[in-house]
Amino acid sequence: MSAGSARWLRGGVRAALVLAGCAAGVTVLGGAASAHITVTPGSVPAGSAAELTFRVPDEEATAATVQVQLKIPTSPPVAQLLVKPVPGWQISVRTITLPKPVTTDDGSFSTAVSEVTWSGGKILPGQFQDFSVAADPLPAGVSQLPFKAIQTYSNGDVVRWIDLRQPGQPAPDHPAPVLTLTTPDDVGGAPARSGGAGEPAIAVSLGVAGLVAGLLGLAMGLASWLRGRRDRRAAGRQADPPEGRAADQASAPANGQRVRP
């Protein structure tokens, strides 16, 4: 193997290792960021009907999740909220009487769902479960709806996903899943998935940085390969026998013009 080929191979290996490391880093960071309870979609138009799915992961090493309580915002309220059955889980719904009835295309509603509880099932360690509700319509006049959740484990541990991000403060450890409500005036919308107002953006930033580092490594490998080609060409010219160069010079026309064969 020539020196140029060896350098090209080493450069390619370095680039591959850097890209692999970046991919692994993004995977690990993405897994850490998605360990919170999340809501999908993360953004819907205000006043529309939507199915909201809350993904609940089990984060204990030896305990199963046995109950999930979801607090439904009531100020402003969701006029109609239906709960999707989940095999193996029982559903309990709590309602409140509204101080002022809500009128929609389907009529007037004086009560609203304030809490949904799923119990009796199990989310084993290393697994997750989706819980879905249908909201019709989602309220107008607000930009966000926080859905605070309480997760209970079989060993008695209780995790309260109820914290909201405060301006200028670090992201909370247990953020509540937050639904963004958009209006026609909004530009760009919101991410398709939201882990709550407190979910940190550091995972995304580090993932982008890793991708940039991987591309730099690939560029270094390509540059090394190009240098190898240049070195091989130079070595080939130096290896040309002197008598061959003399013969070429002798066969050249005296006036420096090219002779057609």
Beta-carbon contacts of 86 under 8 Å, excluding residues fewer than 6 positions away, are: 118, 121, 129, 130, 131
User: Above 60 in pLDDT, residue 22?
Assistant: no
Confidence at residue 20, expressed as pLDDT on a 0 to 100 scale: 45
Judged by average pLDDT, the poorest of 26-30, 107-111, 147-151, 221-225 is 26-30
The DSSP string of 29-90 is: HHHHHTTS-EEESSEEETT--EEEEEEEE---SS--EEEEEEEPPBTTBPSEEEE---TT-E
Q: Which residue has the higher pLDDT, 242 or 50?
A: 50
How far from 31 is each of 76, 79, 158, CA to CA, in Å?
A: 33, 35, 22
- Find the mean pLDDT for residues 21-41: 60
User: Would you list the domain boundaries of the chain?
Assistant: 1-33, 37-204
- At residue 109 the predicted structure's pLDDT band, cuts being 50, 70 and 90, is very high
Check whether 198 has a pLDDT greater than 60: no
- Pair of tokens at residue 72: 């439904």
Cα–Cα dist 81/93, whole Å = 10
Q: Tell me which fold the domain 37-204 belongs to.
A: Immunoglobulin-like (2.60.40)
pLDDT of residue 257 exceeding 80, the answer is no
- pTM, two decimals, is 0.62
> Is residue 105 over pLDDT 50?
yes
Name the band, by pLDDT with cuts 50, 70 and 90, for residue 35. confident
What pLDDT sits at residue 227?
A: 72
**Torsion sign over Cα 186, 190, 194, 198:** negative
Q: Does the structure show a pLDDT above 80 at 236? A: no
Q: Alpha-carbon distance 176 to 150, whole Å?
A: 10
Grouping H, G, I as helix, E, B as strand and the rest as coil, residue 138 is: coil
